[in-house]
Structure 1
Amino acid sequence: MTKFEALGLAQPLLDAISDLGFETPSEVQEKSIPVLLEKDTDLVALAQTGTGKTAAFGFPMIQKINADSRTTQGLILSPTRELCLQITNELKLYSKYVKGLNVVAIYGGASITEQAKQIKRGAQIVVATPGRMKDMIGRNMVDISKIDYCVLDEADEMLNMGFYEDIKDILSNTPEEKLTWLFSATMPKEVASIAKKFMHQPVEITVGTKNAGAATVQHEFYMVGGRDRYAALKRLADANPGIFSVVFCRTKRDTQRVAEKLIEDGYNAGALHGDLSQNQRDLVMNAFRKKQVQMLVATDVAARGIDVDDITHVINYQLPDEIETYTHRSGRTGRAGKSGISMVIITRSELRKIKSIESKIKQEFIQKQLPSGIEICEIQLYHLANKIKETKVNKDIDAYLPAIYDVLEGIDREELIKKMVSVEFSQFFNYYSKTKDLNSSESGKERGGRDDAGYGDIPNEGSVRYFINIGERDGYDWMSLKDFLRDTLNLEKEDIFNVDTKDSFSFFNTEANITEFILQTFTDFKVDGRFVNVEVSKSPGGSKGGKKRSGRKGGGGRRKDGGNKSFKSGKKGGFNKKGGKKRSGFY
């Protein structure tokens, strides 16, 4: 018996699960599905985004619904068009072997008459955004007076977006004896009031700790001067060459401005905010899912509905006003069992906000130093060397080789490698070698930081940074690499910090008094027959700021061309004079 069979699911659903390649139910699925199948009960489930909530309510609803009847029996409310469509698509995959079951999505920005026609043909399950659902009820285009099941998905997000009255109006058109299943990442008072008003003795399920952040997310903050936010953002991007991230800003104006500046500086960036048309939003999101956009700059409202599992970083360009909003932001990474990093760029005056968030999410932040120019150059140099090594040779070049050999005649191998790397590296190095230390004085010089030029020897507060020749390509993320180092060296978890994994290499820090032990341990050290090399990094890479904070344990305006255009293509490859990679951009 498989783990999904043990939950009580019927064979048509098990066949669909097999097709989808699901093997082990997530915690929220394991806790919710048996309860919803065995009992006719209301349910409140608190779980972070990316934990498999759609299947947790989708499988039981599909199994309980009568597919032979054309009556609408299930209603699922979700906050955004994107999430509405995603839930609909997933339910269709889950029910592929349930004959006659129809799932219809209704949302704004599409033909209301066409959606009404689809419902009239027979839709046992309707997935809707609150605004469009209320509109269709008012026009008598949909009948939810006989539904048996109602799901409020991402309830806290719907209420944060101002849908409280709409939800109350919609639920007043449903039968009192229906079952209501509420799924939410946090439980603010507005969600509790909905539960109290429309639910009867609900079973409560909590995955993790109530309102806590996901354990797979590492929380970091970087303290800078107010004018250095954008420069800090660029450094964080350049220090993580494989970054695939969402960058959060408070306002639509800041979102557009930051995205445009990133595109101007050559990054694969895009903007997502409320001033974009639906077509523009779709273009940006499709590009992001295909990773043509590596840095999606978004407002909190526009980002609701982004459901991409392999986001590596969330960058808080500005902190939100509400702590619950930070929980949602950080929940965009570290999904589906993968690890992620939530970075916060703050000024000294915002330090108290970090303490408030720590208290709410029940996790500590790590204060980190922004990488120096030299450290970024080192990371990019390793990345470039690896890129050259892994590049597949294009055989069409063979015809040109005799002429190329003539041009390169007389240059020995070592000199040729230097010249190849310098072609792309020099401009990048020239930019960063002249830049200043961006770290705020409290986390910089006064705390053993780097000098004004962004250089320095090994930090003078006892922290040493190391290079190790394994990374994400070898199956490591920051969590598993930390565990590997701890087990190999027989150290405590807090003895290894500031772990940064890249594609084919990584960095980590320890206290200076064990440097000799570290290097001796990794002399002629092999894993699965492969040498694993560790050496002291030439750049400082994280002085005291790489550990936990002291005292703890351990879009500008419119474009000149009149556009609020959905995307813009730029050149790819090479480095530009401003230090960023030349990449295509969307906004």
Structure 2
Amino acid sequence: MTAFNTIPNIPESLLATLQTLNFTTMTEIQEKSISPILEGKDILAQSKTGSGKTLAFGIPAVIKTDVGKNRPQTIIITPTRELAEQVAAELRKIAAYKPNLKILTLYGGVPLRAQADSLAKGAHILIGTPGRIQDHLAKETLTLESINTLVLDEADRMLDMGFYDEIVKIASNMPKKKQTLLFSATFPHKIETLAKKLLKEPLIVKVDTVQEKAKINELVYETEDKFKTLNALIQSYKPESLLVFCNTKAEVISLTDKLHRRGHSVIDIHGDLDQRERNEAVILFSNRSKRIMVATDVASRGLDIKDISLVINYDLPFDKEVYTHRIGRTGRADATGMAISFYGPRDSEKCSWITSQAQKAEAKELRVDATFKMISNFDTLCLNGGKKTKLRAGDILGTFCKEIGIENSQIGKITITDTKSYIALHHTVVDRVFKALKKVKIKKKKYVAWVL
């Protein structure tokens, strides 16, 4: 493993920031990409989710940004709102060493006018989805003539969603001499076509293209009653966290309701939820207030939640690429994980590509604890203040421990967005904190609190 300090001319202040974020050595995709990107080369990179590709293009983007020029210099296009937010969060962390660097997200589910106002004030790095970027170009609230670098993140997913023409059209609004970086988990023919259209003599980088067998234990269960088998697996494996994939919104809602009635801490996520609901669903699952998430493939990419111990394909995915991305939610970074798929007696041909690489298991061999339920010990308290009111995790932690008298161990993950703060609290102290906040101030200011 190569250290970040081997990157030529990397600023010492950036190294210090990376150190505080516990980034000391580069992943393979970072080691092979960062220096060539800094040299100005176009990159065509194949790397699976969780390999560290965000920093592979994010570090050069931050280093090369000239904050003295208050206009967009890098634009990163992602397939989903969730991935746009995830990338923005990572880049804001590493950009902390560079004062006044502005990162702006552009995606649907948020008023266009609010984003237009932010664009008018200036931004250096833009991160967004193809549809919303097109909206801004059409309304002339966004111009791209100052873009130096175009990044296409999870390009295969964007092409699967039908965004080829939009991507080409967006790129046509940028200078021809721009640098283009294309990152994709797979290299289907459509990716090769797009690469020939947009990239100039790219350096081809391929890493982590095969799922590591030792990291993810893949199993398949043949079953005629998927819900019964799901319950047996939950009560046998007793996972800390569980992500279940269904193919349709209706199935997600139905299964979530069934699991809730069984007494499990469960939440769903699908495309019909608005942005606030989707964001809060991810927060509740990542901070362990909900231990099960039931999702459509809207969550198979761009869902940055560490330590998901078990992924279950309740419905078989439509193709191998979707399967790869679903199971890639577990076994991330240095962790190990398990992925289980269900199929019916009539599905054997449909899932032969799964059964050829996964081990077949029998439900009758499970040791079921019928009393077990995936119940969370945490609830989430929300405050009506965040980054824009200068609220920090340390402020919240200090007030809760010193002023209200809560033990540090009773406070879980704290997530702070622009306008809200989400605090996971042990369920035994939630009411106490909620009542205390009607009188207690944080940084000399009263905040409205509610329980999600």
* C-alpha distance in structure 2 between counterparts of 1:10 and 1:222, whole Å: 52
User: Does residue 328 of structure 2 align to residue 335 of structure 1?
Assistant: no
Change (3 A) 1:358 1:242: closer
Match of 1:320 in 2: 317
Shift of residue 63 of structure 1? 1.3
Quick one: which amino acid aligns to residue 224 of structure 1? T
User: Does residue 358 of structure 2 align to residue 365 of structure 1?
Assistant: yes
User: Does residue 222 of structure 2 align to residue 223 of structure 1?
Assistant: yes
* C-alpha distance in structure 1 between counterparts of 2:28 and 2:184, whole Å: 15
Q: Structure 2 length as normaliser, TM-score?
A: 0.78
* C-alpha distance in structure 1 between counterparts of 2:78 and 2:164, whole Å: 12
Quick one: which amino acid aligns to residue 115 of structure 1? Q
User: Are 1:239 and 1:379, in contact at CA under 8 Å, matched by a contact in 2?
Assistant: no
User: Are 1:29 and 1:53, in contact at CA under 8 Å, matched by a contact in 2?
Assistant: yes
Shift of residue 202 of structure 1? 1.1
Which secondary structure does the structure 2 equivalent of 1:205 belong to?
A: strand
Which secondary structure does the structure 2 equivalent of 1:191 belong to?
A: helix
Q: Which runs of 5+ in 2 are unaligned?
A: 376-426, 429-451
Which secondary structure does the structure 2 equivalent of 1:376 belong to?
A: coil
* C-alpha distance in structure 2 between counterparts of 1:308 and 1:133, whole Å: 26
Match of 1:133 in 2: 133
Q: How does 1:109-508 map to 2 (within 5 A)?
A: 109-209=109-209, 212-215=210-213, 216-225=215-224, 228-357=225-354, 364-372=357-365, 375-377=367-369
Shift of residue 2 of structure 1? 7.6
Quick one: which amino acid aligns to residue 377 of structure 1? D
1:529-559 deviation digits (Å, cap 9, x = unpaired): xxxxxxxxxxxxxxxxxxxxxxxxxxxxxxx
Equivalences, count: 377
Shift of residue 129 of structure 1? 1.2
Shift of residue 185 of structure 1? 1.1
Shift of residue 248 of structure 1? 0.7
* C-alpha distance in structure 1 between counterparts of 2:355 and 2:287, whole Å: 34
* C-alpha distance in structure 1 between counterparts of 2:64 and 2:275, whole Å: 35
Change (3 A) 1:273 1:33: same
Shift of residue 297 of structure 1? 0.9
* C-alpha distance in structure 1 between counterparts of 2:355 and 2:239, whole Å: 28
User: Are 1:73 and 1:149, in contact at CA under 8 Å, matched by a contact in 2?
Assistant: yes
User: Does residue 81 of structure 2 align to residue 98 of structure 1?
Assistant: no
Shift of residue 339 of structure 1? 0.7
Quick one: which amino acid aligns to residue 218 of structure 1? N
Shift of residue 358 of structure 1? 6.5
* C-alpha distance in structure 2 between counterparts of 1:214 and 1:153, whole Å: 22
* C-alpha distance in structure 2 between counterparts of 1:197 and 1:146, whole Å: 20
User: Are 1:105 and 1:127, in contact at CA under 8 Å, matched by a contact in 2?
Assistant: yes
Shift of residue 299 of structure 1? 0.8
Change (3 A) 1:379 1:186: farther
Shift of residue 151 of structure 1? 0.4
User: Are 1:272 and 1:303, in contact at CA under 8 Å, matched by a contact in 2?
Assistant: no
User: Are 1:274 and 1:302, in contact at CA under 8 Å, matched by a contact in 2?
Assistant: no
Change (3 A) 1:30 1:2: closer
Shift of residue 379 of structure 1? 10
* C-alpha distance in structure 1 between counterparts of 2:116 and 2:361, whole Å: 53
* C-alpha distance in structure 2 between counterparts of 1:108 and 1:128, whole Å: 9
* C-alpha distance in structure 1 between counterparts of 2:371 and 2:159, whole Å: 43
Shift of residue 242 of structure 1? 2.9
* C-alpha distance in structure 1 between counterparts of 2:234 and 2:262, whole Å: 12
Q: How does 1:471-550 map to 2 (within 5 A)?
A: none
Q: Which stretches of structure 1, 4 residues or longer, exceed 4 Å deviation after superposition?
A: 378-381
Match of 2:37 in 1: 36
Shift of residue 369 of structure 1? 1.4
Match of 2:387 in 1: none
User: Are 2:235 and 2:370, in contact at CA under 8 Å, matched by a contact in 1?
Assistant: no
* C-alpha distance in structure 2 between counterparts of 1:358 and 1:239, whole Å: 22
Shift of residue 276 of structure 1? 2.1
1:123-160 deviation digits (Å, cap 9, x = unpaired): 11111111111000111111112211010011112222
* C-alpha distance in structure 1 between counterparts of 2:100 and 2:253, whole Å: 45
User: Are 2:300 and 2:329, in contact at CA under 8 Å, matched by a contact in 1?
Assistant: no
Change (3 A) 1:358 1:345: closer
Change (3 A) 1:259 1:221: same
1:234-289 deviation digits (Å, cap 9, x = unpaired): 11111122331211111111111111111111111111112223232233222111
Which secondary structure does the structure 2 equivalent of 1:309 belong to?
A: coil
Change (3 A) 1:253 1:98: same
Change (3 A) 1:269 1:378: closer
Which secondary structure does the structure 1 equivalent of 2:278 belong to?
A: helix
Match of 1:55 in 2: 55
Match of 2:388 in 1: none
Which secondary structure does the structure 1 equivalent of 2:99 belong to?
A: coil
User: Are 2:220 and 2:355, in contact at CA under 8 Å, matched by a contact in 1?
Assistant: no
